Amino acid sequence: MFDIIIIGAGIVGCNLAYQLSLTNLKVLVLEKNAEILNEVSSANSGIIHTGYDPKDDTLKALLNVKGAALTKELCEYFQVPFLQCGSMVVAHDDKEIDMLKALQIKAAQRKIPCELLSQEILRQKEPHIADSVIKALFFPTTGVIIPWELGYALMDNACFNGVTLKNSEAVIAVEKKSSYIVKTPKSSYEAKMVINCTGLYGDKVARLAQADYPINLIYKKGEYQVTDKTDASYLNHILFPLPTEKGKGVLAVKTVEGNLLFGPNSNIVEDPTHQDTTSIGLAEVNSRIHEIIKPLPQNRMIRQFAGIRPGSPTKDFIIENHEKWVNVIGIDSPGLASSPAIAQYVIEQFVQPEFHPETLNRELYIHPKPLLLMSLDERNALIKTNPNYGKIVCLCEDVSTQEVINAIHSPCSTRSIKGIKRRVRPGSGRCQGGFCESKIVDILSKELNIPKQQVLYDNDNTSFLTPMEDLYETK
């Protein structure tokens, strides 16, 4: 019997697991994918919004401002990168300047630092901003994180502190007795309380416990372009158009790693499982990005991806408790920035009154720092302890063999190529795995002690190799 089952290991689930792991409660996390952070949490802009955008008196407004501050603290604590690069919302005409001024007032009310920049200053700060931009509102505290870097640090620590994580276990049925029985195809688990933070599937999972659950999520797909890191110096800040009803618009952001990310567009879709890019969508991103930034001298796109965001009909986060079944629903933008505050809110509102848990002193599991961010001396010290730190497996992203091995054996373990790519980056660079993928297969096969034909690319149905000896009928 568990005290709490968390369904879904997206960024909200990871924050919840971590915060609950600091208590004496017995916690289980069920994740349907082979890897945590596999859907909404991995396909977004990685921006820690300051909180100027959400409407007054919404959960979004409350939790975004709080969550942004908490995210920064968490990143410092876990020693994962938080790049406070600042953001600019840009205006192209007088009408948009008026909107910037309104935004400025709202930001001031929420004590978010900001400053209106003149043409001259904004061009000094951002030389490649589009010619049509005439003014910008500058938010110096906006930052960017690697969403899965923080997510894995949270879950590694949660597991290190004793939380149980079960990957590849989708919840298919729920039974309510005095407690909840949560069933997956592999097993069933009992808990006093369940927290449903299943992102795109939040409404459907809610209906497993409450058949007439009335809310239907609205799915918005956003498509992105990723450039080669060579273009890193082209952009200094996050650039936003003015927000509209559809969202924050096609923006430009430099990732912590140094790639430029352009997007997202925003289109309502029916099917949350179909995260595909389209030629129309990519064309839209390619053209709208030039409303804020000048075209790059060379087309050096290395990847396109799409993310789907689960929006609620109220346009606000929905966080509610019904007979110890907690729904955390409609966590679209600014969900990433709000996530630590969402977890805190759930615990304060629903967990504490029910369990009155004890807070425990937990040791920190230090998430290994990427070699890329170390000095040569630091790297040499590591190589002395283990030569695999000197053996580079991914040239594009400067990743050593040992970092891959460490990720595989971390407290919340990683067992797919995609998981390795998220955790330690091989395959996310300009060769997109062309040079390193087969080496990652070798390492996974060796470390997990499985034949190569069982190595997963992503989820459980994604092994992809057939040995030559099985091809010819020789036996």
Whether the link from the prior residue into 426 is cis, omega within 30° of 0, is no
CA gyration radius for the chain? Answer: 23
- Cα distance between residue 343 and residue 82, in whole Å: 20
- Cα distance between residue 168 and residue 46, in whole Å: 25
Choice among 49, 128, 237, 367 that is catalytic? 49
270 binds other proteins (CB under 8 A): no
Residues 176-235 that bind other proteins (CB under 8 A): 226, 230
384 binds other proteins (CB under 8 A): yes
Nearer to other proteins, 64 or 416 (CB): 416
465 binds other proteins (CB under 8 A): yes
Choices 57-65, 360-368, 378-386, 404-412; region in contact with other proteins by CB under 8 A? 378-386
Distance of CA 204 to the CA centre of its chain: 22
Least gap, CB of 179 to other proteins (angstroms):
34
168 binds other proteins (CB under 8 A): no
- Cα distance between residue 3 and residue 449, in whole Å: 34
Q: Which amino acid appears at position 262 of this protein? A: F
414 binds other proteins (CB under 8 A): no
Q: Are strands 115-117 and 135-139 parallel, antiparallel or unpaired?
A: antiparallel
Instruction: Kindly tell me which residue out of 19, 87, 312, 400 binds other proteins, with binding defined by CB under 8 A.
Output: 400
- Cα distance between residue 258 and residue 164, in whole Å: 34
- Using alpha carbons only, what angle is made at residue 256 by residues 255 and 258, rounded to the nearest 5 degrees? 65
Listed in order, strand segments (DSSP E) in 32-91 are 47-48, 82-83, 87-91
Nearer to other proteins, 167 or 275 (CB): 275
Nearer to other proteins, 212 or 469 (CB): 469
452 binds other proteins (CB under 8 A): yes
438 binds other proteins (CB under 8 A): yes
449 binds other proteins (CB under 8 A): no
Least gap, CB of 127 to other proteins (angstroms):
20
- Cα distance between residue 305 and residue 221, in whole Å: 10
Nearer to other proteins, 178 or 461 (CB): 461
- Cα distance between residue 336 and residue 323, in whole Å: 27
Instruction: Kindly tell me which residue out of 383, 411, 447, 450 binds other proteins, with binding defined by CB under 8 A.
Output: 383
392 binds other proteins (CB under 8 A): yes
Instruction: Kindly tell me which residue out of 141, 179, 349, 459 binds other proteins, with binding defined by CB under 8 A.
Output: 459
Q: Which amino acid appears at position 220 of this protein? A: K
447 binds other proteins (CB under 8 A): no
Active site residue 367: no
A 10 A CB-CB count for 471 gives 8
Phi, psi dihedrals of residue 368, rounded to the nearest 5°: -60, 135
| Token pair listed for 37 | 């952070």
437 binds other proteins (CB under 8 A): yes
Least gap, CB of 473 to other proteins (angstroms):
7
290 binds other proteins (CB under 8 A): no
Distance of CA 42 to the CA centre of its chain: 4
- Cα distance between residue 127 and residue 391, in whole Å: 39
- Cα distance between residue 314 and residue 320, in whole Å: 14
Listed in sequence order, the residues at least 6 apart from 461 whose beta carbon sits closer than 8 Å to its beta carbon are: none
57 binds other proteins (CB under 8 A): no
Nearer to other proteins, 274 or 322 (CB): 274
387 binds other proteins (CB under 8 A): yes
Least gap, CB of 401 to other proteins (angstroms):
9
Residues near other proteins (CB under 8 A): 226, 230, 273-279, 281-282, 298, 301-306, 376, 379-380, 383-384, 387-388, 390-392, 395-396, 398, 400, 430-435, 437-438, 441-442, 452-453, 457-459, 461-462, 464-469, 471-474
What are the catalytic residues? 49
